[in-house]
């Protein structure tokens, strides 16, 4: 039984973006702290681009925000406009080219872009660029977006952004820096969150409201679907970039990605997660002595389950807080001996108890079994797994590094088979309806493709098209 | 209002030690994973020394365990005996010399030592060494211990260890590696924990049982006060190194230092902390809507408080999990704007509520006020601070980097004054008696000097002496 | 008097390029050793791109070849085609973006390029790219060349290379890697050298023949002006890329840039430099006791001067071989005290002597004066400076980082004024005619613009044009 | 034929030392520049210790002086006394512990030491220290010297230094820093050079006078054998530390180690080397067309040979100036193909010529053969090797990393056999007498053990003793 650090059965969010326009402020420094608060959305690389109204410069590197930036490399980043980006963690070294923001010189001056999301028609756009004779330095869809912008018709960046929004299919919450303006762009479906706020006479934009709060912003609001926010010395204007489609927010922002202290679509993430736990308790009650989370992301749902069920809440697994990017691998004997790097059970707590273990989701199912084994060995008498989201049966094409069909355990196995595989006494997934009740918004507002397989876009000969009846094909 | 990363109102534990004797095992690799599990005891530096029966080698460096060690620098560390060490975090660069283990060649061959604790008579021992014509490369008491060992009378390391135990006053849990033997030594007072276990025919030793569990050890037991454990090809023998004194365990191991999944003096830390919370609820009840911890260390106590009081448990502050060693400082405007790097409040949870905030201790009091302010601004109607330990009125000389008298807020101010200073509606510290009830061991078993000022050792002309009546002066 | 390491009165060559196509060979490793031999052409950054017939990958970084590459980062560079590049040294950190090779994906697959030289119409080409909607990530003319190539009309890379050669004005010796072919391209004027050779059934290309020799190549030949060499599994073909113009080799390759063991236009550099010294002796004879070089580049010229004049050759200045990239600056007192980092005089050799000091060129004149002072203080009775090239009166636009008009001492001052400024007893520059005699090729074969001000290209409204009568305007 | 960078047939000098006492000066910075000038004596590690009269601090690291020190790590090194050290290059990573200076706290305050040389009775002294109960952290004899000093009887450092000088057998030129005084110590035999000079009212000490010149010192003098120089606010005093023995200077300082611009025993190294070349020409004349050195160290000897013989001097091999610490190894095919990293021949110069190749010494003989082959392939008709020192037949125990008996080619083979092995047409070593004539000092003044096998010290049961009749046994 081996639980690897950082491996986990994880979903990986693509990115976090930040932007600021504020004369008289240390915009790179504020961006640093904003990215710091978005670190949970990506730990692979970090970068900041700034403009002082004349020229734009960029610093980006592999690593955590706190590792990438030093007083020394922050110092040259002078100006009154900045954007920043954090990217999610992977060992693939070729990803170095994908660190963001991207910055290019163009006919209209410098332009830098930071992107959270994923396009489904990247390959089509790449081919268009190739046909137009543009070479691409990376495999990142953000570079594609940027060259599309640079090559778009129109005398202003706004026209070009609108053009780009016509071309791009998929998820994109963007911050864009030009010589004298900060833009924030959210795709017409609103796949990923994006918020803005005021700061000392200036403006800040971020993937999540928690980052705006962290830097002391006020008057925080979410940016509408399809909107372009234009921020310069004339203030902030919100204009339509593309007609907003029906909303299609990735529901996993509620379940797992976003920080509990962020507000999305008017709801505090923490509260939604507690509500998910309460629904779970109603759908899958069980007679037990203790409700415990798989820490840390499932903690609010476990608290919610406990509140609803009346079973006491407690901790049964301790998470090592210092798990970092380690390349030291346990050898086979260590594996067999049960090196438990990520979690340790609280044996005395578990001894003889019937426990409810709440987790937020199961992707590959690779960590559930060792956790159940670990709890069993620690003395738990009964182990009832409760998952605060439905079975994930379909991969995501919208920026979540989720796995392929074959890897998805719920695609391969029934719930009962999964229960057997993990060795639990019972297993309950929250139903789709229960999840929707908990999030308190119409089902139609969300991208649920990983649960339902109903994708908004579908690959046809000649590229991706939107397939839902209520939307037009591009 | 500014809450700095890693600053906090912190107590800093000195170190964690590890040791292994196991033929046929990858001892350095196992030590790596053991140190990984002890990382909470020290984040400044990490090191491993190994012996293959012929020669001993050492690798140590500043940084987290996962940063210090790579497959490349681990590879040469071949042998069947290893010791390891993690040291606590500080910005003082001169501490580089203090990274452990220390390794010396001597008349009896190589000897390396890893030390958790603090001697009170270091200066006396330094002067003795100087008088004897020994130069010292660092200001670390561990180097002093090692040169005392090397220069001790006796033909065997055991004799020398016993000599050293006669000389050394203070806290020391040690792992010692010689050419062919692993020793584990715990001071006669048992200030710091030290445990051992079996592993595949070999033996492991660690500051806390959680590290033994992590590497898959079994038959885990605590090492008695004054004992020397001798581990070599003949197996493990426990002999008396110095007559055990009355126990004097640092009670802060229960309150804050140790990992919740470790067992000390037969009790699971997590359970003790819940019990502290329950006592706290009994001593300082209050009518409120929510019990929340200052995460993460106070979580078990808050759960205990909630269980006892019947007030629902919940989360009200989100902690940034990616707080690292950053040297980027907020500027003044950011400070005033309220950059909240470490915590963010869950406004919707707190809005209009009367809340009980449980923390484990207050040292300087510097973080309590900003936390109260933050919660107040987030809408909390009443804020009742509850501390699961008594007021800290006296500094520690036993290896906890606690502060000086002047810095200790409870030395300067009364409880009511502290309450005013932090702006809480009420403030309750657990009483000494309540704490003792919760830990379920006699008061006499603990070092309580930071609460009572009754030190075991006292500085007299000519050095430190033991002052308690029931103990003899050295 | 202060002579800074690496500052000097230097001319800086832009770059060195390398290429190899050889199945069954460790092409990246061979490229490493080739770049090693070209290190004198650039010390700022190094990079290697490889293709295995399927995909192309790249590794480049700031630093010397031996610092940039390790077994670890060389290992993934698998394939049978490789190109490499070294770039010249500068402290400007934004140059990081200019490290080469550049690699892009395009409609025809991956393409990487390494460039030695400098375009004069870069800005025109940039504007054309901008107009075409292509964004550029750097200020480097090599990226411009590459996007021009990628966007050129034509179904084959050869057609596109020919198109690029029509557009590009200036100096370019290139190695180009595509999925399955290695190209070598030399501009129609032959500003910079470029040679090729055979290696174990494969082919190698390099800026200088010394690099081909170093990797064990044979059948070495220089690549003609305007030629494109196409190397793939069908062997090597040399075709015309653009009609060759009259030759215009940078004569400073003979005087200073190239390694003495390279052959350019059929002549060994070392021999040319000796001949320059002999001409210098004939033009500027003097009665003296010792001929000494300013080491190391002027050594062959000094030997030539000594041979021709009959005055004994000897060393009078010792050069610190370990001059590296140091950022430690002497303070003012050290400057006044005369910290001589780069050179030290051999006082006993110089004491009372009349010396001829041979240097290869004077650019800003900043090091000549301290050298004369140093020699004078060391006891030299007479100091006769002899320069093995004519006065540099005009800046270079062809890739040599030479200085602006104002900085060029020979632009501001007469020879007699320069002599006074440096404090020498006499000063003799080699005449243009003498230089031409020494290089044994017609004057018309060379770019002599820095001596004569007669530039091949000139900036007109609307861009650069060729101005010499015997050439057509593009 | 493969000639590895930095491998060579090298002799490796142990170290260079520096010291400065100068109020009002940036002593660490000056030490940096002094070490820079001593870099040829050691490239493995560099370090500087300073004292401000109160406390002493140290910075040392692996690497070249220019790599080790930055403005950032130099800044804290404040004070008015400093010592520095460079150590020679080796790949053995355990040597990290041997980086100098060493700094210890002691009864008399801090003391740091930098050492050039080698003791022969290190092991005896180690055992004495072990017996006295002192543990040692490294295998470096400098740490031994320092603990001997610290443990010596005497109330002053001078007394202790004198005690140490009684105990230490072998070569030691030292700079020692205490809280308020700089000491320079040279062993009674004067194995290694050591000079001092004045600087702006202060004093500087260095292994070689070139370093004193580099920092602008004047009134430079060599420090007598057995002397202790005491430098503090009272000025500089030279006292006897131990009775000077008959001189025993390592003659390889003249032949190879020292920089040509240094003065040792009143003679400029460069001149001695030219004289060695002249003697060599007289002893081993040959009819030839060209005299060339193996660059760079043999250049003065080759010039001397040319002057004496009347054969023209020239260059035939070009040395790659950028040879650095590379770990990239040529593969077998590259080896066979003849990768020539360190040298390249000037074929046109050599073509058809009869050449005299002057080298300064042959140790293992591993590079002579590939050089001869390379020259032969480049077209040389006859190759006459001339060595400006006698055959090395015995290893050195005085700090030169020379090889063991088995490795020394002149121990195994006769001159004629060596000639055959290297493939030269003739081979001539300078005779011992010729060498002595060239150095112009009595034979008795030198350590010639590597040529004669007559060691000053010899290992007997119970340790090393001096064996020459004219010296007393310790």
State how far residue C302 is from chain A, nearest Cα, in angstroms: 46
Q: Any idea which of A192-201, A384-393, B87-96 has the lowest mean pLDDT?
A: B87-96
**Which residue from A minimizes the CA distance to C137?**
A104
- State yes or no: pLDDT of C471 exceeds 60: no
Amino acid C4: pLDDT: 32
Would you state the pLDDT for residue A98? 83
Residue B112 phi, psi (nearest 5): -125, 150
D390 CA to chain C: closest CA distance, Å? 24
* Chain D contact set for C327 (CB, 8 A): 70-71
Q: DSSP letter string over D267-313?
A: EEHHHHHHHHHHHHHHHS----SEEEESTTTTHHHHHHHHHHH-PPB
Report the C-alpha gap between D281 and D433 in whole angstroms: 14
For residue C229, give Cα distances in angstroms to A308, B291, C28, C237: 77, 77, 20, 6
- Residue D3's pLDDT is 36
- For the segment B312-336, what is each residue's pLDDT rounded down to a tens digit? 999 999 988 776 555 577 777 776 6
Which chains reach chain C with 3 or more Cβ–Cβ distances below 8 angstroms?
A, D
The ranges assigned to domains in chain A are 15-250, 268-451
When pLDDT is averaged across residues A63-88 and rounded to a whole number, the result is: 92
Pairwise CB contact (< 8 Å): A57 & C94: yes
What SS3 state is found at A217? Answer: coil
pLDDT number for residue D445: 95
Confidence category of residue A323, pLDDT binned at 50, 70, 90: low
What secondary structure letter does DSSP report for D256? I
CB A293, CB A358: distance < 8 Å: yes
pLDDT at residue B1 is higher than 80: no
Average pLDDT over residues A234-261: 95
- pLDDT tens-digit map of B384-429: 999 999 999 998 877 666 667 888 999 999 999 999 999 999 999 9
Report which DSSP code applies to C257.
Answer: I
What is the percent of chain D where pLDDT is above 70?
89
Mean pLDDT, rounded, for B457-465: 63
**With an 8 Å Cβ cutoff, are D26 and C300 in contact?**
no
pLDDT score at B8 = 40
Chain D residues within 8 A of B136 when measuring between CB atoms: 104-106
| Euclidean distance between CA atoms D415 and D409, whole angstroms | 9
Find the mean pLDDT for residues A283-300.
95
Cα C315 from chain centroid (whole Å): 26
Position D25 pLDDT exceeds 50: yes
pLDDT tens-digit profile of D244-272? 999 999 999 999 999 999 999 999 999 99
**Phi-psi group of B133: left, alpha or beta (phi > 0 → left; psi -120 to 50 → alpha; rest → beta):** left
Interface residue of C132, C133, C136, C149 to substitute, partner A, most A CBs within 10 Å: C133
CATH hierarchy code of domain C267-451: 3.40.50.2020
Q: Which chains touch D (3 or more CB pairs under 8 A)?
A: B, C
pLDDT, average across residues A138-147: 93
Q: Which residues of A are catalytic?
A: 15
According to CATH, what is the number of the domain B268-320+333-451? 3.40.50.2020
- Range ranked top by mean pLDDT from A35-39, B339-343, C458-462: A35-39
The pLDDT assigned to C44 comes to 86
> Options 2.30.40.10, 3.20.20.60, 3.40.50.1820, 3.60.20.10; which CATH number does D15-250 get?
3.60.20.10
CATH of the structural domain B15-248, one choice from 3.40.50.880, 3.60.20.10, 3.40.50.300, 3.90.79.10: 3.60.20.10
pLDDT at B419 (0 to 100): 97
Residue B93's pLDDT band, with cuts at 50, 70 and 90, is very low
Query: What are the helix (H) ranges across B22-121?
Result: 27-37, 65-68, 71-74
Neighbouring CB atoms inside 10 A of A309's CB total 22
Chain D hits for C67, Cβ within 8 Å: 324
Looking at residue D462, its pLDDT comes to 57
Closest-CA residue to C471 (of C259, C189, C228, C282) = C189
Average pLDDT over residues C26-55: 94
In angstroms, the CA B282 to CA B276 distance is 10
Strand partners, D204: D20, D197
What per-residue string of b and e applies to C198-234 under the rule 16 or more CB within 10 Å gives b?
bbbebbbbbbbbbbbbbbbbeeeebbbbbbbbbbbee
Res D232: pLDDT: 97
Strand partners, A466: A457
**Is A326 in contact with B260 (Cβ distance < 8 A)?**
no
Residue D64 has pLDDT above 90, yes or no: no
Rounded to the nearest integer, the mean pLDDT of chain D is 89
From D199's Cα to the closest Cα of chain B, the distance in A is: 31
Q: Measured between beta carbons, which residues in chain B are less than 8 angstroms from residue D94?
A: 57
Q: Mark yes or no for CB contact C71/D214 under 8 Å.
A: no
Best CA proximity match to D152, nearest among D129, D131, D171: D129
Which numeric CATH code is attached to A268-451? 3.40.50.2020
In this model, does residue C473 exceed pLDDT 60? no
Q: Measured between CB atoms, which of B71, B261, B325 is closest to A318?
A: B261
Cβ within 8 Å, pair C146-A135: yes
Best probe of the D interface among C315, C317, C347, by most D CBs < 10 A, is: C315
Fold of D268-444: Rossmann fold (3.40.50)
Query: With an 8 Å Cβ cutoff, are A151 and C133 in contact?
Result: yes
- pLDDT > 90? residue B47: yes
**Interchain pair B270, A333: CB under 8 A:** no
Q: Is pLDDT of A293 > 80?
A: yes
Kindly report which listed range (A122-131, D229-238, D260-269, D402-411) carries the lowest average pLDDT score: D402-411
What percent of chain B shows pLDDT beyond 70?
89
What pLDDT is attached to residue C474? 31
For residue B137, the chain D residues in CB contact (below 8 A) are 102-105, 137
Chain B residue with Cα closest to A343: B214
For chain A, the residues whose C-beta falls within 8 A of a C-beta of chain C are: 57, 93-94, 102-107, 111, 126-127, 130-137, 139, 146-147, 150-152
Tell me: pLDDT of D91 over 90.
Answer: no
* A467 pLDDT above the threshold of 60: no
Of all residues in chain C, what percent carry a pLDDT higher than 70?
Answer: 89
Q: Is B218's pLDDT higher than 50?
A: yes
In chain B, which residue's Cα lies nearest the Cα of A344?
B261
Q: What average pLDDT score do residues A171-191 get?
A: 97
Q: Is pLDDT above 70 for C224?
A: yes
Question: For residue B471, what pLDDT is reported?
Answer: 36
C447: annotated active-site residue: no
What was the pLDDT predicted at C472?
A: 35
D336 Cβ partners below 8 Å, 6+ apart?
none
- The tens digit of pLDDT for each residue in B121-175 reads 999 999 999 999 999 999 889 999 999 999 999 999 999 999 999 999 999 999 9
Interchain proximity D106–B131, CB inside 8 Å: no
pLDDT at D13: 54
Q: Cα distance from C164 to chain A (closest Cα, Å)? A: 13
pLDDT score recorded for residue C130: 97
Of A325, A328, A346, the CB nearest to B270: A346
Q: Which chains touch A (3 or more CB pairs under 8 A)?
A: B, C
Q: What ipTM was assigned to the predicted interfaces of this complex? A: 0.87
Which chain A residue is nearest to residue C130, measuring alpha carbons? Answer: A107
- A1: pLDDT strictly greater than 50: no
Are A328 and B199 inside 8 Å of each other by CB?
Answer: no
pLDDT by residue (tens digit) across C236-285? 999 999 999 999 999 999 999 999 999 999 999 999 999 999 999 999 99
Highest mean pLDDT among A222-231, B56-65, B208-217, B252-261: A222-231
| Mean pLDDT lowest among A116-130, C398-412, D224-238 | C398-412
Q: What is the pLDDT of residues C368-385, one digit of tens each?
A: 888 999 999 999 999 999
Q: Which residue do the tokens 């830098």 mark?
A: A112
Chain A residues whose CB is inside 8 A of the B274 CB are 314
CB contact (8 A) between residue C130 and residue A105: yes
CB contact under 8 A, D313 and C315: no
User: Is the pLDDT at B92 greater than 70, yes or no?
Assistant: no
Catalytic residue among B15, B140, B396, B447: B15
Residue of chain B with shortest Cα separation from A345: B261
Contact: D26, C334; criterion CB under 8 Å? yes
Instruction: Indicate if the pLDDT at residue D226 is higher than 60.
Output: yes
């Amino acid at each position: 039984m081996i639980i690897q650090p950082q491996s986990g059965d994880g979903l990986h969010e693509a990115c976090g973006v930040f932007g600021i326009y504020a004369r008289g402020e240390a915009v790179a420094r504020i961006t640093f702290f904003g990215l710091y608060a978005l670190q949970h959305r990506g730990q692979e690389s970090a970068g900041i681009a700034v403009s002082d109204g004349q020229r734009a410069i960029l610093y980006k590197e592999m690593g955590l925000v706190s590792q990438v930036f030093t007083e020394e490399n922050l110092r040259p980043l002078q100006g009154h406009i900045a954007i920043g980006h954090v990217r999610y963690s992977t060992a693939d070294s070729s990803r170095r080219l994908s660190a963001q923001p991207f910055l290019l010189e163009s006919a209209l001056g410098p332009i830098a872009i930071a992107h959270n999301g994923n396009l489904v028609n990247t390959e089509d756009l790449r081919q268009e660029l190739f046909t137009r004779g543009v070479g691409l330095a990376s495999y990142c869809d953000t570079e594609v977006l940027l060259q599309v912008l640079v090559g778009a018709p129109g005398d202003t960046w706004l026209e070009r952004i609108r053009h780009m929004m016509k071309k791009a299919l998929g998820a994109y919450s963007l911050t864009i820096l030009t010589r004298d303006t900060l833009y924030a762009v959210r795709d017409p479906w609103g796949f990923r969150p994006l918020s803005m706020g005021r700061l000392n006479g200036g403006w800040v934009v971020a993937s999540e409201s928690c980052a705006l709060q962290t830097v002391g912003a006020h008057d925080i609001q979410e940016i509408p679907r399809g909107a372009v926010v234009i921020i310069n010395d004339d203030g902030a204007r919100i204009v339509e970039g593309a007609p907003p489609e029906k909303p299609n927010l990735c529901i996993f922002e509620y379940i797992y990605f976003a920080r509990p202290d962020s507000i999305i679509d008017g709801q505090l993430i923490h509260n939604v997660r507690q509500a998910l736990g309460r629904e779970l308790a109603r759908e899958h009650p069980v007679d037990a002595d203790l409700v415990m989370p798989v820490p840390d992301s499932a903690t609010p749902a476990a608290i919610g389950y406990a509140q609803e069920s009346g079973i006491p809440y407690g901790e049964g697994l301790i998470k090592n807080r210092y798990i970092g990017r380690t390349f030291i691998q346990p050898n086979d004997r260590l594996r067999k001996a049960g090196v438990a790097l990520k979690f340790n059970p609280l044996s005395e707590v578990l001894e003889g108890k019937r426990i409810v273990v709440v987790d937020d989701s199961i992707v590959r199912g690779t960590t559930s079994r060792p956790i159940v084994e670990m709890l069993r060995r620690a003395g738990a008498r009964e182990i009832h797994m409760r998952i605060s989201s439905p079975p994930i049966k379909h991969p995501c094409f919208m920026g979540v590094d989720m796995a392929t069909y074959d890897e998805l355990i719920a695609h391969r196995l029934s719930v009962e088979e999964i229960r057997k595989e993990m060795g639990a006494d019972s297993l309950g997934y929250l139903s789709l309806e229960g999840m929707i009740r908990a999030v308190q918004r119409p089902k139609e507002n969300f991208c649920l493709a990983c649960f339902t397989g109903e994708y908004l876009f579908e690959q046809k000969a000649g590229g991706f098209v939107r397939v839902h009846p209520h939307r037009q094909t591009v």
